[in-house]
Amino acid sequence: MKIALVGATGLVGGVMRKVLEERGYGDCTFIPAASSRSVGKEVQFAGKSYKVVSVEDAIAQRPDIAIFSAGSGPSLQYAPLFAEQGTVVVDNSSAWRSDPDKPLVVPEINGDVITAHDKIIANPNCSTIQMVMALAPLHKRYRIKRIVVSTYQSITGTGMKAVQQLRDERAGVPADKVYPYQIDMNLFPHGGTFEENGYTTEEMKLLNETRKILRDPEIAVTSTVVRVPVTGGHSEAVNVEFYEEFDLEEVRRLLAEMPGVVLQDDPAHNVYPMPLFAEGKDEVFVGRVRRDESQPKTLNLWVVADNLRKGAATNAVQIAQWVEARFL
């Protein structure tokens, strides 16, 4: 296997290196690529040092798989060039997610949509991945009518510069701001950019990507995305209304049986998911499972996952594993 990693020097790129190694790709021919600023720098992978190359050089080496985590611009520019020569691209940016011809995949839910002809496969947004992981088994059983979700998103979702901003603010040294405001001791209801309808791009992803992954264009989703001064993962308060009546014990059983989901729900002993414990883990943690007593057929959940892991690197590598097992 020859694997290129575009964005190898970034925050997600670093976790991707780790996850690739953990999942048995330590012996692959590894091609780390990044922007021209990083060409020639060294990155570590599976106990060895590798020199970062340009994306053009990575294309010339004709890898079997190219995993992208370098933002939408490079994905739009370079993914088709890899795809043209037969490389399968797994793209972590939002560049291809809403393209009806490109699969948008969470392997545990809809890996089966990938065909041998797909050369660009989109990795969903971190907030969407963890939410649909919890909701997919419930959708199958009771069919979702409407979701109301508020997110509490880790700054790691914005990359290395955001982590540096928080560190600098904490240390009391002048910080380069990637956010419009101080993030330490603060939070803001602003993820992505504002659209004409008043929602942000991150909020609209929760609607459009959920419909595509759960294969139900009628699901209604309304969301508020909040950035919080946390590094371990994203948390979500999810209120979900179903068409069918549910049984709370069955809901708990369906969640516990979902591969990749861990039910962490024992309020009497203060057991509920938190980013502090989700950090570095591949699973999606679900707790605070309870009926919404204000409305029939409606459930509340609290969903936490490490956005750099299942929300990004782990899911992307799982897609690569899926493709390798079936099509390479």
Catalytic residues, by residue number, are 126, 234
Closest by CA position to 52, among listed 65, 77, 70: 70
Site string for ligand A2P, 51-90 (x = CB under 6 A): ----x--------------xx--x----------------
Tokens of 227: 């950035």
Q: Give whichever of 35 and 98 is closer to ligand A2P, judged by the CB atom.
A: 35
Tokens of 129: 């991945």
List 98, 159, 224, 290, residue binding ligand A2P (CB under 6 A): 159
Closest by CA position to 143, among listed 285, 297, 303, 300: 297
Cα gap 278→166, rounded to integer Å = 20
Interaction between residue 129 and ligand A2P (CB under 6 A): no
The site that binds ligand A2P (CB under 6 A) totals a number of residues, namely: 18
Cα gap 116→136, rounded to integer Å = 25
List 34, 59, 104, 255, residue binding ligand A2P (CB under 6 A): 34
- Minimum CB separation from ligand A2P for residue 59, in Å? 11
Half-sphere exposure of 196 (CA within 13 A, CB side): 0
Q: Give whichever of 1 and 160 is closer to ligand A2P, judged by the CB atom.
A: 160
Interaction between residue 9 and ligand A2P (CB under 6 A): yes
Total H helices, total E strands in the chain: 10, 13
Cα gap 52→2, rounded to integer Å = 15
Q: Give whichever of 38 and 151 is closer to ligand A2P, judged by the CB atom.
A: 38
Stretch near ligand A2P under the rule CB under 6 A, chosen from 5-13, 57-65, 200-208, 292-300: 5-13
Sign of the Cα pseudo-torsion (10, 119, 214, 318, in order) = negative
Residue 209 contacts residue 128 (beta carbons within 8 Å): yes
Stretch near ligand A2P under the rule CB under 6 A, chosen from 33-41, 105-113, 117-125, 257-265: 33-41
Cα gap 262→325, rounded to integer Å = 26
Residue nearest to ligand A2P (CB): 10
Site string for ligand A2P, 160-199 (x = CB under 6 A): x---------------------------------------
Cβ neighbourhood burial of 117 (10 Å; 0-12, 13-18, 19+): exposed
List 16, 19, 21, 38, residue binding ligand A2P (CB under 6 A): 38
- Minimum CB separation from ligand A2P for residue 130, in Å? 19
